[in-house]
Structure 1
Amino acid sequence: MTIHIDGRIGEGGGQVLRTSLSLSAITGKAFVIEHIRGKRKKPGLKRQHLVSVEAAASICGADCKGDSLNSQRLVFNPSKIRAGNYSFDIGSAGSCCLVLQTVLPILFYADSSSTVTIQGGTHNPMAPTADFLAKSFLPAIYRFGFNASLNLMSYGFYPAGGGKIKAEIRPAGDLPKKVELIERGPLLKKRARILLSKLPQHIAEREKKILLKQGWFETDEVEIVNITNSPGPGNAVIIILEYENVTCVFQSIGEKGKRAEKVSAEAYNAAAYHHKSMVPVENFLTDQLLIYLALVSNGTFLTSKVSLHSHTNMKIIEKFLPVKFVVKEIASGQKLNCTGKIFRSVHS
């Protein structure tokens, strides 16, 4: 059975493609996608998306048609998932983390452990950062029965890129019968990391001043990290809130023409908003957890608001897996529930 997907569905971006690649490889179901990234100003496969296709195909031995730059149609017919030591180079500042997002679920269904090394951007404006993956996402999916670790080998900022991450992935064993993330527990620790590469030091000092001005952080909770192993200039403010049951990471990436004060304020406002909401899962983590929630096929978590991006992702997941997502309004935000038949990998 071949699944047909319109890339203009919902949010209409690259996540439609990435989720389709992951679940096609895991389920063994071929798919055809038309109008790839159809709601973007420049639709079709860009370098980062093409590397995701090539990476997924190499891991599951897929036969592809349309796997070329700017292509708006792709046919993907997977075969057997193979464990291994993989390496992929985006060749630009495209996001390493989004490529990893594509291949990580696949390698959880290999028959032995694997490593994946990816070169490109590690801290991009419109993508999860390596900090987010290592501190928030990977510990969260560990609760779901999926075990991987991440090493940030070098930083890569837009537009120079040149960063590198390496992930170690262990095959998923018996998954829990049900997962719940309803209570986040008390805040155990908070900290902020200001990353600075090949830019004037006053930028980081101004960002630190803004954070301290809010009165939430103590001086020793805000760290300026001068990056020495990145090929180009870059800046980011990363805020990490470690609760008893979940760790949440909030980020703002510096860009040319964007004042340091705005960079710092964006990260702080996102973190403060989430902390006041009392829900355990913030919006970006919500989107990242959906595939894993569906693979367990029985779970619930609370979040402040399910985005269009997440609603789109749920629709794609439901095309590949026998699950159903339901979102309900609650006093503190929204309750996301996933139920369905237990997924049995075609590779087991």
Structure 2
Amino acid sequence: MIDDRLVKIDGSIGEGGGSILRLASGFSVLFTRPIEVYNIRSSRSKPGLRLQHVLGLQALRDLTDGHLSPVKVGTTKIKFTPGNVFRDELNIKIRTAGSIALLSQSIQNAAIFTNNSSELDINYTGGGTFGLGAPDPYYLNNITYYFFSKMGYKCQIDVLKNGFYPKGGAKARLHIDPLEKDKDQLTPVNFEEQGNLIKIGGDIIVSHNLKKPKVAERIHNGIVKEMAKFVSQVKFDIHRKYINSLNPGVGLNIWAQYDSGAVVSSGTILGKRGLPSEKLARIASRALIEPMQCGATVDEYLGDQIIPLLYLCEEPSSIMVSKISSHMQTNLDLLDMFSKRKYEIKKIGKAFRFRYFEQ
């Protein structure tokens, strides 16, 4: 049953970007409450919806048989009412290099609990696997969805073809195994200590035209060299892959895995023309060393993505996050608009302990 209590959201709050819309629309389905979002991206040079936001809203409308006010690129106000059903498959065509991972975020939030336990497949044609300000699918699988699985929520994204900005042209399939409302429960997690380092993992994805100058190998060797200054006698499990794509590109992320189950990452790092492979390796390594040094069990990029699951878990959970990002705070503020639950943020050393209290 749809709760008819409308949630009105000012799209300019927090960092005022598209993440507010992705989160709000996903929460609308999750809590079965209609939303009205206004002032969408009002502070940006191009206010209103971008194409990937339009596609995300339409995807949730189609998945749930919901109702969405007319939308197009540039729209600054939307109304969305989720439906009572949840389809098991949807095809999404992306005509730009819009981020597949960002589109997946609103869907993964919406599908945590559904009215039945039917599995869900989202088939993407077009779009980008690596883009500015967005996680890549390899990050989702190895960091985000790895953590989700610890709580009993299973997601997997299979990359059939990579795509870089500006042409995109990727292909991917997102598979979700939702939990059933009023029956299944999420498993609490308490990651407050890193434990012992097991390995440094990662993925380096490079377009085939950069194979001759050995870009992937140089990045890999640079990472090993940089990380050796910080950790010794550690296993490296970093995969290198040259791929065919519509335009040149380099994307990577590396992560540290601990015996406690914690994993922290550099986040997605992008190459660009004129940036040497060795410098890119240093950038990635330093981005990883930061959460490792501060004792975090969750990096800042996962911090905001994991909040909905921690919130929905009936028993209290806790994590040590490297940074309370604006995205994470926006996530917390938005959740409060749908249903309140007491939480605590406490700085311990160089990291921040975040925990929800018992419901």
Deviations 1:118-138, CA, capped at 9 Å, x for gaps: 231111121011111111111
Structure 1 residues 124-139: aligned runs within 5 Å: 124-139=131-146
What is the CA distance between 1:193 and its match in structure 2?
A: 3.2
- Whole-Å separation in 1 of the counterparts to 2:63 and 2:204: 36
Q: Quick one: which of 225, 232, 241 aligns to 2:247?
A: 232
Identical residues among aligned pairs (%): 26
Given the alignment of the two structures, is residue 253 of structure 1 paired with residue 270 of structure 2, yes or no?
A: yes
What is the CA distance between 1:259 and its match in structure 2?
A: 3.7
What is the CA distance between 1:273 and its match in structure 2?
A: 1.5
- Whole-Å separation in 2 of the counterparts to 1:266 and 1:220: 17
Deviations 1:297-335, CA, capped at 9 Å, x for gaps: 532111121111211111011111232333111124111
Given the alignment of the two structures, is residue 287 of structure 1 paired with residue 291 of structure 2, yes or no?
A: no
- Whole-Å separation in 2 of the counterparts to 1:263 and 1:43: 32
Tell which deviates more after alignment, 203-212 or 126-135: 203-212
Q: Is the 8 A contact 2:294 2:349 kept in 1?
A: no
Q: Is the 8 A contact 1:25 1:81 kept in 2?
A: no
Q: Quick one: which of 207, 220, 225 aligns to 1:208?
A: 220
What is the CA distance between 1:71 and its match in structure 2?
A: 0.3
Q: Is the 8 A contact 2:223 2:284 kept in 1?
A: no
Question: TM-score, length-normalised on structure 2?
Answer: 0.88
Deviations 1:135-162, CA, capped at 9 Å, x for gaps: 1111101122212222111111111211
Q: Quick one: which of 303, 310, 317 aligns to 2:335?
A: 317
Equivalent residue for 1:326? 344
Letter in 1 for 2:284: A
Deviations 1:88-127, CA, capped at 9 Å, x for gaps: 1121100001111111222232311111112311111210
Given the alignment of the two structures, is residue 157 of structure 1 paired with residue 164 of structure 2, yes or no?
A: yes
Given the alignment of the two structures, is residue 123 of structure 1 paired with residue 142 of structure 2, yes or no?
A: no
Letter in 1 for 2:159: L
Question: TM-score, length-normalised on structure 1?
Answer: 0.91
Q: Quick one: which of 104, 107, 110 aligns to 1:103?
A: 107
- Whole-Å separation in 2 of the counterparts to 1:261 and 1:206: 6
Letter in 2 for 1:311: Q
Equivalent residue for 1:84? 88
Unpaired stretches in structure 2, ≥5 consecutive residues: none
Deviations 1:200-228, CA, capped at 9 Å, x for gaps: 33233442343243252889755432113
Deviations 1:264-285, CA, capped at 9 Å, x for gaps: 2221111112222222111101
Equivalent residue for 1:113? 119
What is the RMSD of the two structures over their aligned residues, measured on CA atoms?
2.1
Q: Is the 8 A contact 2:224 2:236 kept in 1?
A: no
Q: Quick one: which of 169, 180, 187 aligns to 2:190?
A: 180
Equivalent residue for 2:42? 38
Deviant stretches of 4+, over 6 Å: 217-220
Equivalent residue for 1:61? 65
Aligned length: 340
Tell me, what secondary structure is at the counterpart of 2:45? coil
Equivalent residue for 2:151? 144
Tell me, what secondary structure is at the counterpart of 1:214? helix
Q: Is the 8 A contact 1:237 1:263 kept in 2?
A: no
